[in-house]
């Protein structure tokens, strides 16, 4: 019986490479190795590119009726049978080999995919499974196409990697939000913060440890700067910010407001340091 694998899922492989490009860029890397990998394996005429097109079609196409959605899925499945399975298998093997040359595979595949459920369902439908599970996966896809969301118990064997307690920002929204606020003026600490948030979003322990460390360091710096400021109003504001970030509760979900608070704190520290020089 076919089992889901991120290593074999064309949609997930593409999403992870795109995310890696952005992560490398935020790290200050001028030429991301992931760009070359994308160009080599997802060129217009490659079988992987064609299969990716089927994944994206199933995720983006919309119909109001379930009958049209099912007819559309049947058409996509028919198109998929025209692709050479042996060619796709070989290209995926070489793709993983190239990724391994450039990145640590464990870290690369630990990144969180927001549309994981959709990609997993499409993979299982295209690759085949037991009749009962095929119905479940097809229904998940139909829900996405029609926009009719209903509560279904997901297959634990496939979705066990997903930590439902974490509320995630869409990667695109995350980047747009911070570009809008700070443009090209992000400092080193701000870029590092975004990099950690992106790379460790599925590793909650590591992310919480990083945020806890940064909050502690920022609190110490703010308290030291406060002692150097003569203006009582500014001193009070610094102390307020120090208290606010110290009260961030990392025991629960990692919220985007925590990231924004730290970004602003870095800016504040930079401005005050310029004043007290």
The Cα 143–Cα 192 span in angstroms is 38
The Cα 115–Cα 109 span in angstroms is 14
CA triplet 200, 152, 173: central angle to 5 degrees?
Answer: 35
Q: What is the mean pLDDT of the chain?
A: 79
The Cα 101–Cα 186 span in angstroms is 30
pLDDT digits (tens, 9 = 90+) for 31-88: 788 888 988 998 878 999 999 999 989 988 888 888 999 999 999 999 999 999 999 9
The encoded tokens of residue 33 equal 């190795």
pLDDT at site 180:
59
3-state SS, the chain, equals: CCCCCCCCCHHHHHHHHHHHHHHHHHCCCCCCHHHHHHHHHCCCCCHHHHHHHHHHHHHHCCCCCHHHHHHHHHHHHHHHHCCCHHHHHHHHHHHHHHHHHHCCHHHHHCCCCCCHHHHHHHHHHHHCCCHHHHHHHHHHHHHHHHCCCCCCCCCHHHHCCCCCCCCCCCHHHHHHHHHHHHCCCCCHHHHHHHHHHHHCCCCHHHHHHHHHHHHHHHHHHHHHHHHHCCCHHHHHHHHHHHHHHHCCCCCCCCCHHHHHHHHHHHHHHHHHHHHHC
pLDDT at site 188:
80
Question: What radius of gyration do the chain's Cα atoms show?
Answer: 23
The Cα 36–Cα 23 span in angstroms is 15
pLDDT digits (tens, 9 = 90+) for 109-147: 887 777 888 899 999 989 876 666 778 888 889 988 888
Q: Is 151's pLDDT higher than 60? A: no
pLDDT digits (tens, 9 = 90+) for 244-254: 888 887 776 67
pLDDT at site 153:
39
Band of residue 169 on the pLDDT scale cut at 50, 70, 90: very low
Q: Considering all CA atoms of the chain, what is the largest pairwise distance in Å, rounded to the nearest integer?
A: 75
Within 10 Å of residue 60's Cβ, how many Cβ atoms? 9
Where along the chain do its domains lie? Answer: 10-159, 171-276
By residue count, the chain amounts to 277
* Region of poorest pLDDT, from 63-67, 87-91, 231-235, 266-270: 231-235
Within 10 Å of residue 118's Cβ, how many Cβ atoms? 18
pTM over 0.75: no
């Amino acid at each position: 019986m076919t089992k889901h694998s991120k290593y074999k899922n064309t949609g997930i492989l593409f999403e992870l490479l795109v995310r890696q490009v952005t992560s490398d860029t935020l790290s200050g890397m001028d030429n991301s190795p992931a760009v070359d990998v994308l160009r080599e394996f997802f060129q217009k005429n490659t079988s992987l590119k064609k299969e990716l097109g089927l994944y994206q079609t199933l995720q983006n196409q919309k119909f109001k009726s379930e009958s049209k959605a099912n007819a559309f899925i049947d058409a996509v499945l028919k198109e998929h049978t025209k692709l050479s399975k042996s060619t796709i298998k070989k290209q995926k093997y070489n793709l993983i080999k190239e990724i391994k040359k450039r990145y640590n595979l464990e870290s690369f595949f630990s990144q969180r995919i927001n549309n994981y459920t959709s990609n997993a369902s499409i993979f299982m439908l295209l690759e085949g499974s037991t009749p009962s599970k095929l119905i479940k996966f097809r229904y998940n896809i139909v829900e996405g196409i029609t926009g009719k969301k209903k509560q279904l118990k997901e297959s634990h064997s496939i979705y066990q990697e997903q930590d439902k307690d974490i509320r995630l920002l869409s990667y695109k929204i995350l980047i747009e939000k911070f570009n809008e606020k700070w443009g090209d003026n992000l400092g080193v600490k701000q870029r590092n913060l975004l990099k950690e948030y992106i790379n460790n979003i599925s590793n909650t322990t590591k992310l919480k440890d990083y945020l806890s460390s940064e909050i502690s360091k920022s609190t110490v710096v703010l308290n030291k700067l406060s002692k150097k400021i003569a203006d009582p109003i500014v001193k009070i504001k610094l102390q307020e910010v120090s208290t606010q970030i110290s009260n961030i509760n990392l025991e629960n979900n990692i919220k985007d407001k925590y990231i924004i608070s730290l970004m602003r704190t870095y800016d504040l520290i930079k401005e005050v340091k310029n004043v007290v020089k």
